[in-house]
Structure 1
Amino acid sequence: MNRSLTATLRQYEAFDVVAETLHFGRAAQLLGVAQPALTQQIKQLEAEFGGELLFDRNRRRVLLTEFGETVLPEVRALLRQAHRVENIADAARGGRRGRIELAYIGSASYAGVLGRVLKTFRAGTDVDLVLHELDMDLQIREIVAGRIDAGFVRLPLSGVPDVLVTRDILEEDIMLALPRGHRLEGAESVRMADLCKESFIFTHLGPDLGFAACAYALCSDAGFTPHIAHRARQFTAIVSFVSAGLGVAFVPASVARMAEVGVSFVRISDATVTSRIGLAHLDAPTNPTLRRLLAILEPIDRL
């Protein structure tokens, strides 16, 4: 029956350094221990090996025995593996190694914030990054259920569990998308009072969630209730509906970068709110990679 060894990594390290220096005094200095303590570690290791001597030592020299020569390569391989485990554990603890699943809304990608954050996050790491494009209502459900670590969302969030928190990442102005030939086309800016009789295209979300909450707040602050002719899940579809002449729409400033034929974008001079993109996550994240992502988020940008 094979004996179970109880030798420690410190004893193996002591053996390795003495084998390298062939001098107990210098080895003790390198290891930062007293020479008697080092000698005791070697004796304990030899006892673990059934009393086989690792070194032939006398007053003039220290040499490896044949037994020591035989086990030394395996000891060094063991120490290399132990160091590798420590390095991997350190990287995982610091969020530089591991796995993270993130959700995002489509408008976070063309706002530029998604690419910027992920590029900074992945630099110098070995993280398995999994991305899902999901509507905000689905993101909230998946994050709360623990199936996704975090999600890029449009703020504000309301009516969500208290365990869900957000971090602001980007703030941008809200603009008005107009079809070509609209009476306000060509204006340098518009006022909210000019829009009270317009037909609007809104997102599919309710009046207290995400960009929809911002759009409803704009109209409420201006003293009117919007007439919503159509709804759509994505800003790309909303802009396409505007192009088709189905109505006008409030959109984040980044959407104005879309080169959609038949649509013009106009600044709202008296807008009372802005649109914000944030990262939603549980309030006590246990995933080290998520904690690292939160730590590197830059101060809020403005578009």
Structure 2
Amino acid sequence: MTESVWFMLKALFLGFVEGFTEFIPVSSTAHLLLIGDWIDFSSGNDKVFEVVIQFGSILAVMWIFRARLWQLIGGTLRGERSEVLFARNLLIAFLPAAVIGALTIKYIKAMFHNPAIFVVTLVVGGIIMLWVERKPQYAKHTADAPLPANTDDSVASLNARSRTLEEITWRQALVVGFAQCLAMVPGTSRSGATIISGMIAGIQRKTATEFSFFLAMPTMLAATVYDLYRNAGALNETQSIAIVVGFAAAFVSALIVVRAVLRFVSRRTYRPFAWYRIGLGMVVALWLLNR
């Protein structure tokens, strides 16, 4: 097996890792960077691969929720109050990450090369999740009715509940937006930060999850376009093909898992993910000590 083929197989594997971890609060970026290091996958100093393939997962969600997206776009253009409020909240939540991300991108990318940061962010994030789940004042915002027993299509389930998104206030959206900025630090988890912050701000779990999914669309699109604009000229042919392979794998795997993720977070707490984060953080700490 040639070196280039082996490199592409690693890119394919990491693409599947991205798709399976993007929508659960365990940090897909940490998994990509750590596993990439463990399997000796070198994507270059700018880590364009790790950023761009994440949009493959987001594109899968956009495809699954395409009917709801067209409803949002059409309703906003027609001036429908519920859709205008939804679009307003997405814009408010998107702006902090867009501005702060553009100003701090060099410092953020530098953190990608320091696995010790993952130990802190994974463990602290897990502890915060456990704390939120134990607080009774947040429980009243997270006790959601289970999905209908005959519901196999999570898209229909989401669309039926989408009216609750208009109840999010601009202040709550802003809280989620600034929490998304924290997720720029590798190991924090974008989905975890936005969902948990939404719960703390008083948004029901299922609504916070829905809002997080939709917020990921403009956020990751902007990150992908910006990163490619800055670094496209530095990519060689092998790296470019690897990005395409990883992007496709992330898209396919996300299509498979996203409905299961939606069902899980609608019915269960985040405690299993919290303990997983803490355990993974300890594993990374031991690995660093013995490296």
Alignment TM-score > 0.5, same fold? no
Asked which structure has the greater RCO (Cα within 8 Å, sep 6+), the reply is: 2
Larger Rg: 1
Give TM-score scaled by structure 1 length: 0.27
Structure with higher helix content: 2
Structure 2 length-normalised TM = 0.28
